[in-house]
Structure 1
Amino acid sequence: MIYRSPAADVEIPDVTLTEHLFAGARARGAKPALVDATSGEVLTYAELADGVAAVAAALTELGVGPGGVVALVSHNQPRFALALHGAIAAGAAVTPAGALLTAGELTGQLVASRATVVVASEAAAAKVAEAADAAGLEPSLRFVLGEAPGFRPFAELVARGAAAAGAGVPRPDVDPRAAVSMLPYSSGTTGAAKGVMLTHRNQVANVEQNAVGWPLGEDDVLPATLPFTHCYAFTLVLNAGLRAGATIVTLAPYTFDGFLRMAADHRITRAFFAPPMVLAIATAPPGAVERHDLSALRVGICGAAPLDLDVVRRAEARLGCSIRQGFGLTEAGPGTHQTPDAEFATTPAGSVGRLLANTQARVVDPETLQDVPAGERGELWVRGPQIMAGYLGDPAATAAVLLDDGWLRTGDLVRVDESGCFWVVDRLKEMIKYKGYQVAPAELEALLLTHPQVRDAAVVGVPDPEGGEAPKAFVVPEDAAAAPTADAVAAWVRERVAPYKKIRAVEFTDEIPRSPSGKILRRLLR
């Protein structure tokens, strides 16, 4: 059975992402596009439009354009948008990388994505330099959003391109349906990180699809607390906000009280949450939320991981507004489901809402690949204009999830009720989601197996009151009589991975349960 969106299809313009987002930017003039809550930096729509054109012109002069890849490693700040959309306007793809990644992890992404240019924040510059050296990036093509040894100032790139942009630079010759605009890395459904090829059309489509149920306008003020390097934030906050002419307020580093102060001071109208943020609101000490004037906040949106209904209700009571859930995955740009503003009262609490416009779904038995009866659980398959073009350089992984007729196998188990609302009930995929971040067990297992005192290892996700789910390692020591302590193993891993990937618990065992084919039987470890 094919489920279809109850919303009417929307027209997807056959234009580049740049054309779609910036068509009316200069006309908005001095209206703030991005504001940094910490530094007070303001980037107006006119400045953003001019800056994007300048960066595109400068990159074009450097030979960076269609087919090229620019890596962007930074926390949220106004200049992130300049670098991101300047590179896309030049016809290149951007591979965003979280500022929490280690130098080794960054090296892997730089090499795998085939990036030739890197733009880094000052805070990330040292490890980006190490990664760029290891990946063999040309020193003259390393830029920093500020100043740092071994990097050229990003401001120099903007200034270099300003004159050329003013003289009129030819638009890159790209096909919006085929050209990749974003190349985020996702653990997907098979564990290893892969470059997700999102085309201009994928991104334009998802902005328009989400706008049907979650409309934004020029009077909206949006918080950018979720990282722009994640598909959730760069699509639903940055791109959707710019398309609507909203003001986007960045905050880094994120703190709970800092977010509440920002929401009050900047009169935030629509907040985008990950589950840990909602949990923090629900469980904060008495008065911690209430002392801030949040009267401008009309609605909260939550995604990235499942959310406990009781937590939602408590958070709503303290915020004084409803929190609506949605669903998606990086491979879908990311949105596939939402609880529309107009349907909140009629959407069952706990569901992730209904399909976005232009989107179809099937619920399939993962063993037989046959559709299951309505109301029964099965793997979610989705199809629509937002679905990725595939995984970069990995046709086998692409074929495993993206079928010839356009269906994307999500790896998530869902059920659908009689009203067309979807409920996420489990995951087929082995990926762990800690505070909305993706943690691949296979990556941690491969790392553990390089430890000289570890013979075998398996990693599973276990319930965590703060993160939702956290990595736990089962370890077979090389020598039981001289085994390292659990704390020592956890510390060894912690030194080699981003903070959200660290092992939260270690249990020693005599044997890792495996199938005859050698696959780890994780269900026996949970």
Structure 2
Amino acid sequence: MSIHEDLLPRALFVENTASSAVGDLLFRAAGQHQDSGLLYATTGQFVRYPELRDEALRVLGGLREIGVRPGQVVVLLPEQGEDFIPALWACFLGGFIACAPAPITDSLNERVARLKQLDELLDRPFFVTDDLALTSRAAESGLLVAGIEQARLLGATITPHEVRPYRPDPSEVALTMLTSGSTGVAKAVQLTHANLLAALAAKIDALTLTAEDVMLNWVSFDHVAATIETHILPLAAGAVQVHVPPSHVLADPLEFPRLIGRHGVTITFTPNFLLGLVNAELDRLTEPLDADLSAVRYVISGGEANPVSTGVGFLDRLAPYGLHSRALWPAFGMTETCAGSLYNQEFPDADAGAGTGDPHRRRGRHGRR
């Protein structure tokens, strides 16, 4: 019997039992998929789900020592997955409302000013950072702030099974995501445990996702697709997930297909602009790309418009490397829908002629909820 089994209802350790809180997913992954987990590809560190569970519980213990309480918003500023992900699950397990803002890369004064704006927007949240200078200046400005390492040190002496998770009502808010503000002032979208669990169940069904899948994420965690679709979702299915920072792919777009081939990725997500960058880089190649993409089932693309020509060009250029002709799924979703809610499973056939002015273009079923 797991030493953590006494912390949650026994039913959570039975396959296919419905969960009532997002934190339950981590306990189930740790109990049922002990050899699966997260690979941080740039460092080679592989964290199994039981290890993530224990680290999240220790961070939770540390945050409680600092004074964070259930229902309080915790703004997670670390950008590296190794720091962000354990803190995210500490929030879910502690009944804190996690919030991941866009990376703040300006001067120290401008970063503190941005935190003050978030402090007002989010009604006095607690900030968790990985930046000592920012932690000090934010504290001097009267903000509630602590470093992730401080939380880790406070929780280091805590035995994980002694940390009792908070049991939320499904209607309680689990995650606050900030919109881009592209249609006006940025808004804080509140997603409940019930919202997230319902969306995850639908996504698992739509993608026929299993523990045998491998998902790749290269997008920053302020994007709803990164946090939900390529992190919480594969964990919910017990699948392996591979994470690299955005800079790793943006510096060399062909790292995207290389990473897919290197790690046997079956499902990934990317905004359309990267498809265009990959197309351009492939056209410049003087020798074949070292990548086997035959394991790929779906490349989900959303977050912006998906021109048919870009998607078709991506499929055509990577077909010699094993990418099948129906692998690209343009998707639609919003922060309010927990990322993707419609997937165009018939691309590109259903979109033949789109954007060309052809009134006789072939029509088909464009999405599945």
Using the size of structure 1 for normalisation, the TM-score is 0.57
Please tell me the residue identity of whatever aligns with 1:110.
Answer: D
Task: Tell me if 1:22 matches 2:27.
Answer: yes
Task: Report the equivalent of 2:166.
Answer: 172
Which structure shows the higher helix fraction?
2
**Superposed displacement of residue 32, structure 1:** 4.1
* Structure 2 spans left out of the alignment, 5+ residues: 1-15, 355-361
CA gap 1:262/1:421 in 2 versus in 1, 3 angstroms: closer
Query: Match of 1:98, SS?
Result: coil
Task: Report the equivalent of 1:261.
Answer: 258
Query: Match of 1:238, SS?
Result: helix
**Superposed displacement of residue 168, structure 1:** 5.0
| Whole-angstrom CA distance in 2 between matches of 1:290 and 1:283 | 13
Task: Report the equivalent of 1:293.
Answer: 292
**Superposed displacement of residue 221, structure 1:** 1.6
**Superposed displacement of residue 44, structure 1:** 0.8
Task: Report the equivalent of 2:194.
Answer: 201
- Select which of 155, 159, 165 maps to 2:156: 159
Task: Report the equivalent of 2:218.
Answer: 225
Please tell me the residue identity of whatever aligns with 1:313.
Answer: V
Over residues 244-263 of structure 1, what are the superposed CA-to-partner deviations in whole Å (9 max), with x where a residue is unaligned?
11111111232324334322
Task: Report the equivalent of 2:116.
Answer: 107
| Whole-angstrom CA distance in 1 between matches of 2:202 and 2:303 | 18
Identical counterparts, % of pairs: 25
| Whole-angstrom CA distance in 1 between matches of 2:163 and 2:129 | 28
Over residues 302-338 of structure 1, what are the superposed CA-to-partner deviations in whole Å (9 max), with x where a residue is unaligned?
0000011111011112232321111011122223211
Task: Report the equivalent of 1:486.
Answer: none
Query: Match of 2:300, SS?
Result: strand
**Superposed displacement of residue 18, structure 1:** 0.8
Task: Report the equivalent of 1:71.
Answer: 75
- Matches for 1:21-170 after TM superposition, within 5 Å: 21-29=26-34, 31-102=35-106, 103=111, 104-122=113-131, 126-127=133-134, 129-131=136-138, 133-134=140-141, 136-138=142-144, 141-144=145-148, 152-160=149-157, 162-163=158-159, 165-169=160-164
CA gap 1:115/1:55 in 2 versus in 1, 3 angstroms: farther
| Whole-angstrom CA distance in 2 between matches of 1:216 and 1:350 | 31
| Whole-angstrom CA distance in 2 between matches of 1:64 and 1:200 | 19
Task: Tell me if 1:213 matches 2:206.
Answer: yes
**Superposed displacement of residue 418, structure 1:** 7.9
Which structure shows the higher strand fraction?
1
Over residues 197-246 of structure 1, what are the superposed CA-to-partner deviations in whole Å (9 max), with x where a residue is unaligned?
11111111111111221122222221110112211111110010101111
Please tell me the residue identity of whatever aligns with 1:303.
Answer: G
CA gap 1:176/1:288 in 2 versus in 1, 3 angstroms: farther
| Whole-angstrom CA distance in 2 between matches of 1:100 and 1:258 | 25
Query: Match of 2:256, SS?
Result: helix
Over residues 414-439 of structure 1, what are the superposed CA-to-partner deviations in whole Å (9 max), with x where a residue is unaligned?
xxx985537xxxxxxxxxxxxxxxxx
CA contact (8 A) 1:203 1:333 kept: yes
Please tell me the residue identity of whatever aligns with 1:93.
Answer: I
Task: Report the equivalent of 1:421.
Answer: 366
Please tell me the residue identity of whatever aligns with 2:50.
Answer: A
Query: Match of 2:211, SS?
Result: coil
Task: Report the equivalent of 2:272.
Answer: 275
| Whole-angstrom CA distance in 2 between matches of 1:200 and 1:154 | 24
CA contact (8 A) 1:55 1:83 kept: yes
Task: Report the equivalent of 1:379.
Answer: none
| Whole-angstrom CA distance in 2 between matches of 1:22 and 1:81 | 15
> Which structure would you say has the larger Rg?
1
**Superposed displacement of residue 186, structure 1:** 1.1
| Whole-angstrom CA distance in 1 between matches of 2:259 and 2:39 | 11
Query: Match of 1:229, SS?
Result: coil
Note the aligned Cα RMSD (angstroms). 2.9
Please tell me the residue identity of whatever aligns with 1:327.
Answer: F
Please tell me the residue identity of whatever aligns with 1:137.
Answer: L
CA contact (8 A) 1:181 1:198 kept: yes
| Whole-angstrom CA distance in 2 between matches of 1:157 and 1:260 | 41
CA contact (8 A) 1:74 1:98 kept: no
Query: Match of 1:25, SS?
Result: helix
- Matches for 1:310-321 after TM superposition, within 5 Å: 310-319=309-318, 320-321=323-324
**Superposed displacement of residue 60, structure 1:** 3.3
Query: Match of 1:24, SS?
Result: helix
Task: Report the equivalent of 1:496.
Answer: none
Please tell me the residue identity of whatever aligns with 1:71.
Answer: V
CA contact (8 A) 1:260 1:289 kept: no
Query: Match of 2:210, SS?
Result: coil
Please tell me the residue identity of whatever aligns with 1:16.
Answer: A
- Matches for 1:431-470 after TM superposition, within 5 Å: none
CA gap 1:35/1:133 in 2 versus in 1, 3 angstroms: farther
Task: Report the equivalent of 2:335.
Answer: 330
Task: Report the equivalent of 2:12.
Answer: none
Q: Number of paired residues?
A: 329
CA contact (8 A) 1:268 1:296 kept: yes
| Whole-angstrom CA distance in 2 between matches of 1:130 and 1:215 | 47
- Matches for 1:334-345 after TM superposition, within 5 Å: 334-340=339-345
CA gap 1:346/1:201 in 2 versus in 1, 3 angstroms: farther
Query: Match of 2:120, SS?
Result: helix
CA gap 1:114/1:97 in 2 versus in 1, 3 angstroms: same
| Whole-angstrom CA distance in 2 between matches of 1:288 and 1:350 | 32
